[in-house]
Amino acid sequence: MSELKVPFHKAAITDAEKKAVLDVLDSGWLTTGKYALEFEKKFTQAVSKGDEKRNLPDKRPVISLCVNSNTSGMILAMEACGVKEGTAVITTPYTFVSTAACARHLNADVYFADVEKDSYSIDPDKIEEILLRDQKNGNKVRAIVPVHIAGNVCNMKRILELAKKYSTKDHKIRVIEDAAHSFPSPTELGYAGTIGDAGVFSFYVTKTITTAEGGMVCTRDPELAKRMTVMRLHGMDRTTWDRYTSPRASWEYDIVAPGYKFNLPDVLAAIGCCQVERSELFYEQRKAVVEKYNQAFKDLDFIELPPDGDGNAWHLYLMRIVPEKLKITREEFAKKMQKSGLGISVHFIPIFHFTYWKKLYPDFNAQNYPNAERQYSRTISIPLFPDMTEEQVELVIETVKKIGKENHA
């Protein structure tokens, strides 16, 4: 591979983040404390902006809980919603594997619904097919987990309707949004990640904002928030910050459940406080790059533009090649881009390609999920980040055009 000329992603870090981290180090309190609380407050404000003008399915205020990863947050949300052994969740095979793995950590089964034909979003019709079968087989489904791939929001209105339709008095089906890619994503129903019963964000280094590692769980349900707060830190009935800052002795606490160790330390939360303040600027910068890509690619017959919709955060630019117009495969196209010095990736390898999942569910294969397989075989994620220079954008565009022209069918 040649020298990297354009990275796939570069986090937008400034002196503000550096100062914030040093302030935490100087404070003497490095773990979860006042910066984590401030980050939760700022994030809640960000995902509640304009809610008074929206048609919210649930009008209660958002509660945000920071965690050390999206994966941790997803486990907390699933556990609080009753996902456990003998139950199941519905999600998409077109996602990073952790979405489904979280259910397995709780000893639950996973039912997969294919994506829509022309998008990367889970297909509500396929969800309903699974729910109909589940009714006949004992009502195992406890949660539907839509994934807002690349920041493009799923059909939440229909998904919420399905959850309500197939719930009963004694069997409530929850909706847990995997919003790892979706901040900020304002829609008519509220910000993605605040529309269902719970939503989980990621602040991994490549995401729309970063804390290096970290995540956030949002809910409007105080009971879910209470359970997740307790389970986030060992099942303890007091937070670490309270134990060491209140007059009550730090060792006076109770363990009320077998919880986890999923808290976000202040060193990372301080970065998040800075990043969330610039999240809309980051969005505008990404959108400007997207517009240049779309303008450059719209008339190329070997490229399909990414799907776009209400609230799209544009976390990723999923460039789709048209194999019929090329003499090379997606894999070959991607490798030529790499050899040209571009940092690229593929989002995502559908879960049915992985050994563990093929062994677990014998019928889980590409043939039964044709839309997911089709998207995978055509998609290349190209560089998209706030600080991209005009020269970097142009280099990506010219490289795509050059490879397409040289390998046109």
The DSSP annotation for 281-342 comes to HHHHHHHHHHHHHHHHHTT-TTEEPPP--TT-----EEEEE-GGGBSS-HHHHHHHHHHTTB
Q: Span 261-286, mean pLDDT?
A: 98
Q: Span 370-391, mean pLDDT?
A: 98
**Model confidence at 9: pLDDT above 90:** yes
The Cα 201–Cα 207 span in angstroms is 9
**Amino acid at the residue 124:** P
pLDDT band at 3 (very low <50, low <70, confident <90, very high): confident
Which pLDDT tens digit goes with each residue over 295-354?
A: 999 999 999 999 999 999 999 999 999 999 999 999 999 999 999 999 999 999 999 999
* Total length of the chain: 409
pLDDT band at 249 (very low <50, low <70, confident <90, very high): low
**Model confidence at 287: pLDDT above 70:** yes
- pLDDT the model gives residue 17: 98
Strand bridging mode 317-321 / 379-382? antiparallel
**Model confidence at 194: pLDDT above 80:** yes
Is residue 130 within 8 A of residue 162, CB to CB? The reply is no
User: How far is C-alpha 267 from the chain's CA centre?
Assistant: 22
The Cα 356–Cα 115 span in angstroms is 21
Q: Cα angle at 294 between 293 and 300, to 5 degrees?
A: 100
What integer best gives the mean pLDDT of the chain? 96
Concatenated DSSP letters for 160-193? Answer: HHHHHHT-BTTBPPEEEEE-TT-SS-EETTEETT
- pLDDT the model gives residue 257: 95
Three-class SS state of 221: coil
The Cα 290–Cα 316 span in angstroms is 9
Helices (H), ranges, 106-155: 124-136
- pLDDT the model gives residue 237: 85
Is residue 265 within 8 A of residue 36, CB to CB? The reply is yes
**Model confidence at 242: pLDDT above 90:** no
Instruction: Please enumerate in sequence order all residues whose Cβ is within 8 A of that of 349, keeping only pairs 6 or more positions apart, or say none.
Output: 376
- pLDDT the model gives residue 251: 78
Neighbours of 389 (CB within 10 A): 9
- pLDDT the model gives residue 241: 64
The Cα 149–Cα 153 span in angstroms is 7
**Model confidence at 1: pLDDT above 60:** no
The Cα 73–Cα 214 span in angstroms is 9
- Tell which residue, 238, 259, 258, 268, has the closest CA to residue 250: 238
DSSP type of residue 62: P
The Cα 151–Cα 157 span in angstroms is 17
Which pLDDT tens digit goes with each residue over 80-133?
A: 999 999 999 999 999 999 999 999 999 999 999 999 999 999 999 999 999 999
- pLDDT the model gives residue 156: 98
- pLDDT the model gives residue 2: 67
**Model confidence at 49: pLDDT above 60:** yes
Count Cα atoms within 13 angstroms, Cβ side, for 246.
Answer: 12
- Tell which residue, 240, 241, 236, has the closest CA to residue 259: 236
- Model pTM score: 0.96
